[in-house]
Amino acid sequence: MNMKSELERADEMLSKEDSSQQKINKLMKKREEALLGGGEEAIKKQLAKGKLTARQRIDLLLDPGSFTETNMFVRHNNRNFGLDKKKVYTDGVITGFGQVNGKLIYVYSQDFTILGGSLGEAHAKKITQLMDQAVQNGAPVIGFNDSGGARIQEGANSLAGYGDIFIRNVRASGIIPQISCIVGPSAGGAVYSPALTDFVVMTEDTSYMFVTGPTVVKSVTGEDASFEELGGASTHSSLSGIAHLVGSDEIESIELIKALLSYLPSNNLEDPPLKDTSTINGYVLEELNSIVPSDPQEPYDMREIILRVVDRGNFLEIQKKYAQNIIIGFGRLNGHPIGIVANQPSILAGALDINASVKAARFIRFCDAFNIPIVTFVDVPGFLPGLDQEHNGIIKHGAKLIFAYAEATVPKLTVITRKAYGGAYIVMGSKHLANDMNFAWPSAEIAVMGAEGAVQILFRRELAAAENQEDLMTHLKDEYAEEFNNPYLAAEKGYIDDVILPCETRHKLIAALWPLLRKRERRLNKKHGNVPL
Ligand code: HXC
- Model confidence pLDDT, tens digit, residues 421-444: 999 999 999 999 999 999 999 999
Q: How far is the CA of 105 from the centre of ligand 1 (A)?
A: 29
Higher pLDDT, 482 or 120: 120
Our answer on whether the CB atom of 37 is closer than 6 Å to any ligand 1 atom is no
**Closest by CA position to 509, among listed 394, 417, 421, 447:** 417
Q: Residue 321 gets which letter from DSSP?
A: T
Mean per-residue pLDDT for 176-180?
Answer: 98
CB-facing half-sphere around the CA of 456: CA atoms within 13 A: 5
Mean per-residue pLDDT for 130-151?
Answer: 97
Q: How far is the CA of 207 from the centre of ligand 1 (A)?
A: 14
Q: How far is the CA of 90 from the centre of ligand 1 (A)?
A: 17
Our answer on whether the CB atom of 427 is closer than 6 Å to any ligand 1 atom is no
Give the model's confidence band at 11: pLDDT under 50 very low, under 70 low, under 90 confident, else very high: confident
Our answer on whether the CB atom of 149 is closer than 6 Å to any ligand 1 atom is yes
Our answer on whether the CB atom of 422 is closer than 6 Å to any ligand 1 atom is no
Beta-carbon count within 10 A of 309 CB: 24
Q: Residue 437 gets which letter from DSSP?
A: E
Give the CATH architecture of domain 285-449+486-516. Alpha-Beta Complex (3.90)
Determine the pLDDT at residue 19: 85
Substitution site in 152, 164, 167 for ligand 1 pocket (most atoms within 8 Å of beta carbon): 152
Q: What is the pLDDT of residues 304-313, one digit of tens each?
A: 999 999 999 9
Q: Which atom of ligand 1 is nearest to the CA of 163?
A: 55
- Enumerate residues 6+ apart whose C-beta is below 8 A from 501: 289, 441, 442
Mean per-residue pLDDT for 78-106?
Answer: 95
pTM score? 0.95
**Closest by CA position to 473, among listed 449, 454, 445:** 454
Does residue 491 carry a pLDDT above 60?
A: yes
Give the model's confidence band at 2: pLDDT under 50 very low, under 70 low, under 90 confident, else very high: low
Determine the pLDDT at residue 431: 97
Residue nearest (by alpha carbon) to ligand 1 atom 6 = 116
Mean per-residue pLDDT for 261-270?
Answer: 98
Alpha carbon distance 104, 97 (integer Å): 7
Mean per-residue pLDDT for 112-134?
Answer: 98
Residue nearest (by alpha carbon) to ligand 1 atom 17 = 116
Give the model's confidence band at 6: pLDDT under 50 very low, under 70 low, under 90 confident, else very high: confident
Give the CATH architecture of domain 31-261. Alpha-Beta Complex (3.90)
Beta-carbon count within 10 A of 280 CB: 15
Mean per-residue pLDDT for 127-148?
Answer: 98
Question: What percent of the chain is modeled with pLDDT above 90?
Answer: 89
Cβ-contact 237, 81 below 8 angstroms? no
Phi-psi region of 313 (alpha: psi -120 to 50; beta: other; left: phi over 0): left
Cβ-contact 241, 362 below 8 angstroms? no
Q: How far is the CA of 132 from the centre of ligand 1 (A)?
A: 27
Does residue 468 carry a pLDDT above 70?
A: yes
Report the alpha-carbon angle 292-296-301, nearest 5.
Answer: 40
Determine the pLDDT at residue 3: 63
Of the given ranges (52-56, 77-81, 193-197, 488-492), which has the lowest mean pLDDT? 77-81
Cβ-contact 121, 159 below 8 angstroms? no
Give the model's confidence band at 283: pLDDT under 50 very low, under 70 low, under 90 confident, else very high: confident
Q: Residue 381 gets which letter from DSSP?
A: -
Show contacts of 277-284: CB within 8 Å, 24+ apart: 277/311, 277/312, 277/314, 277/332, 277/334, 277/335, 278/335, 280/311, 280/312, 280/313, 280/314, 281/312, 282/312, 283/308, 283/312, 283/506, 284/308
Cβ-contact 355, 322 below 8 angstroms? yes
Listed in sequence order, the DSSP H helices in 262-323 are: 302-309
Burial tier of 492 (Cβ tally within 10 Å: 0-12, 13-18, 19+): exposed
Cβ-contact 496, 431 below 8 angstroms? yes
Q: How far is the CA of 172 from the centre of ligand 1 (A)?
A: 28
Our answer on whether the CB atom of 273 is closer than 6 Å to any ligand 1 atom is no
- Enumerate residues 6+ apart whose C-beta is below 8 A from 12: 4
Substitution site in 115, 165, 166 for ligand 1 pocket (most atoms within 8 Å of beta carbon): 115
Residue nearest (by alpha carbon) to ligand 1 atom 51 = 189
Fold match flag (31-261 vs 285-449+486-516): yes
Mean per-residue pLDDT for 77-82?
Answer: 90
Beta-carbon count within 10 A of 235 CB: 21
Active site residues: 188-189, 423-424
Does residue 131 carry a pLDDT above 60?
A: yes
**What mean pLDDT value characterizes the chain?**
95
Cβ-contact 377, 355 below 8 angstroms? no
Cβ-contact 74, 91 below 8 angstroms? yes
Of the given ranges (144-158, 278-292, 358-372), which has the lowest mean pLDDT? 278-292
Does residue 278 carry a pLDDT above 90?
A: no
Determine the pLDDT at residue 17: 77
Give the model's confidence band at 465: pLDDT under 50 very low, under 70 low, under 90 confident, else very high: very high
Our answer on whether the CB atom of 191 is closer than 6 Å to any ligand 1 atom is no
Q: What is the pLDDT of residues 185-236, one digit of tens each?
A: 998 888 999 999 999 999 999 999 999 999 999 999 999 999 999 999 999 9
Phi-psi region of 200 (alpha: psi -120 to 50; beta: other; left: phi over 0): beta
Domain parsing of the chain, residue ranges = 31-261, 285-449+486-516, 451-484
Q: How far is the CA of 130 from the centre of ligand 1 (A)?
A: 24
Higher pLDDT, 10 or 331: 331
Question: What percent of the chain is modeled with pLDDT above 70?
Answer: 99
Alpha carbon distance 231, 248 (integer Å): 16
DSSP string, 74-133: ------GGGGGG---GGGGEEEEEEEETTEEEEEEEE-TTTGGG-B-HHHHHHHHHHHHH
Percentages (nearest 5) of helix, strand, coil residues in the chain: 45, 20, 35
Counts for the chain of helices (H) and strands (E), in that order: 20, 17
Our answer on whether the CB atom of 411 is closer than 6 Å to any ligand 1 atom is no
